[in-house]
Amino acid sequence: MLRRQCQMAAFMRAANDRHGLALTDYDALWCWSIDQPAAFWSLLWDFAGVVASDGCDTVLQDAYAMPGARWFVGARLNYAENLLRHRDAHTALVFRGEDGRERHLSYAWLYRQAGAMAAAMRRLGVSEGDRVAAIVPNIPEAVVGLLASAWIGAIWSSCSPDFGAQGIIDRFGQITPKLLIAADGYRFKGKRIDIRGKVGEVRAALAAETVCVQIAWQGTGDIPGALDWGGLVATADAPPDFVPLPFDHPLYILFSSGTTGKPKCIVHGAGGSLLQHLKEHRLHCDIQRDDRVFYFTTCGWMMWNWLVSALASGATLVLFDGNPFHPQADSLWEMADDLGVTVFGTSAKYLSASEKAGVRVAQQWGLDDLRLVLSTGSPLAPESFDYVLRDIRPGAQLCSISGGTDIVSCFALGSPLLPVRRGQLQCRGLGMAVDVFDAQGHSVRNVPGELVCTRPFPSMPVGFWDDADGSRYHAAYFERFPGVWTHGDFTVLTDDGGLIIEGRSDAVLNPGGVRIGTAEIYRQVERLPQIQESVCIGQRWGDDVRVVLFVVLRDGLRLDESLSKEIRDTLRENASPRHVPARIVQVTDIPRTRSGKLSELAVRDTVEGRPVANTEALLNPEVLAQYRDRSELRD
């Protein structure tokens, strides 16, 4: 259902009034936002009510420099102040644990807690530009920690507590934090997991002067030498003044997945992150004060940072920590119904796993408050659109969204002014000059190519940590097509402005010189009821590449000639003969990153006999043994 009475429509009317325009639809609004970026972002600043202490001298400086453009030069603001503009009894956070533990916390509580922790950080010697690192579950204290850090101009960085010690060291060891915040444990699948030993390993690898603060979350005991979070907050001085900072002052450091070496430390600015998130929340998601926004994420995935920024719209955040299928497969949907969630965000993998598990809740609870379902992390199959709108919430707006850690936001997402098209992302984001290039750098439509962005945007990284000359930053995004951001997604841009993500460019298959996105194969194979999930790679074979498909079957099933033929026939009939794998191999599990994404590169390196550069980046590195030296792949 199109929502004409939404904030995006109001914004379009504001653009018409301010600039004497006659914009009437999303396409016209998008074109204006690209053609007149300074006017667009300046209007968004005013429309969203950004809190700033100084006006800007120049909205956009060096408008065509990529990288190099600067936004809102001269403006000074504070990210935490913008998220804490409301300080009333309205609920800011609702926490639900997998064990049913629940907390409801107001904006007034959040302001007091973040202010007290900001004062405590100051007392511990943390100041502007210092790093605050955290090993924390997705709990209210994590949100408080980020806001307190931003309050005083420090730089926040967090990891999920299920990371291995070396994976955390690979990240935090690069940024030399002055303060380390750590929970004593977390819960998963009904078990209480003690991480105090892991925290000790991390502390031993960091500088001796790094101060550790413990959150007593699971009651597993004290972390030796750590200060107590509760005690610091209780005895803190009055909240300090919010520190007004330049638009591009570093807000947080996010990390790449690190599957090809040590993770890249991506530095994001406060102003760009805030403004981009306000655009996506207010305009694209139509988030307002009465919304309850949930995203299934850990503090180690950029979607947590994206979720927290919804406080700037005055909404209530719903935080969950634990296994989404515990104690039963429909636990998250039951929680959403109980808590009145209006915006439900998750991964494509969670939706497909829910369907495979037989979760059907549309008639059970109704989810009457739920109006918007968001999916990201990997391409959302057309069948998953059918599933959500049939078996979860008929009538909801279902938006597949895509962007990444690199920009802590989206290149493509949804719009309340556009219809949902099965199997597609609805549109390119406002202010994002997204295009698809062929190998020669020509813009193409309706055929797969490289997703690029041809103009600067505010949430481009400030840079990489410890990359003084910017060479690593430049090499990551601007070498393929000079002056153009190349994102690394193999994508189709349709004539009607929708996008279809076919997979990561570095995992694209190339049999016989024809490029095939892995998502095309997964889309067909995982429709079969026998298949739980799959991963596909290109194996070097002679002077060509052959397609190899690994499948995880439902419990008790074995891969036989009959099923292999059914898989091949399905791909031949619904994709093309080139999509048909040369070899199909059964495995019991698939390696994935700690944000839940399939690691096709780790599988490919293992099959080719190359060492996987950083197994600490994987959630389950032990499964790689199943891919090593397989007899089926020797001939």
CA 28, chain centre distance (Å):
28
Closest CA to 82 of 329, 276, 230: 276
Where b means 16+ CB within 10 Å and e means fewer, 331-341 reads: bbbebbbebbb
Say how far apart CA 623 and CA 612 lie, in whole Å. 12
C-alpha torsion sign, points 282, 285, 288, 294: negative
What's residue 1's pLDDT? Answer: 43
Residue 587 contacts residue 626 (beta carbons within 8 Å): yes
What's residue 3's pLDDT? Answer: 56
What are the average pLDDT values for consecutive 10-residue runs of the chain, which has 635 residues? Answer: 77 98 97 98 98 89 94 97 98 95 97 98 97 98 98 97 90 97 96 96 96 96 96 94 97 82 90 98 98 96 97 98 94 97 95 92 92 92 94 96 96 96 96 96 95 98 96 94 94 95 82 78 90 91 87 94 94 86 95 84 90 82 93 88
The residue whose two tokens read 């990561």 is: 504
Closest CA to 427 of 33, 14, 49, 48: 33
Q: Please give the structure tokens belonging to residue 25.
A: 């639809």
What's residue 259's pLDDT? Answer: 57
C-alpha torsion sign, points 416, 44, 251, 232: negative
Q: Please give the structure tokens belonging to residue 374.
A: 């968001």
Q: Which DSSP string corresponds to 496-538?
A: TS-EEEEEEGGG-B-GGG--B-HHHHHHHHTTSTTEEEEEEEE
**Residue 41: exposure state from Cβ atoms within 10 A (0-12, 13-18, ≥19):** buried
Cβ-proximal residues to 28 (8 Å cutoff; 6+ apart), any chain: none
The residue whose two tokens read 């001269």 is: 74
To the question of pTM greater than 0.85 for the whole model, the response is: yes
Query: Tens of pLDDT along 258-278?
Result: 655 678 999 999 999 999 999
Residue 430 contacts residue 30 (beta carbons within 8 Å): yes
Say how far apart CA 81 and CA 111 lie, in whole Å. 9
All structural domains of the chain: 79-493 (3.40.50.12780), 508-633 (3.30.300.30)
C-alpha torsion sign, points 217, 218, 222, 225: negative
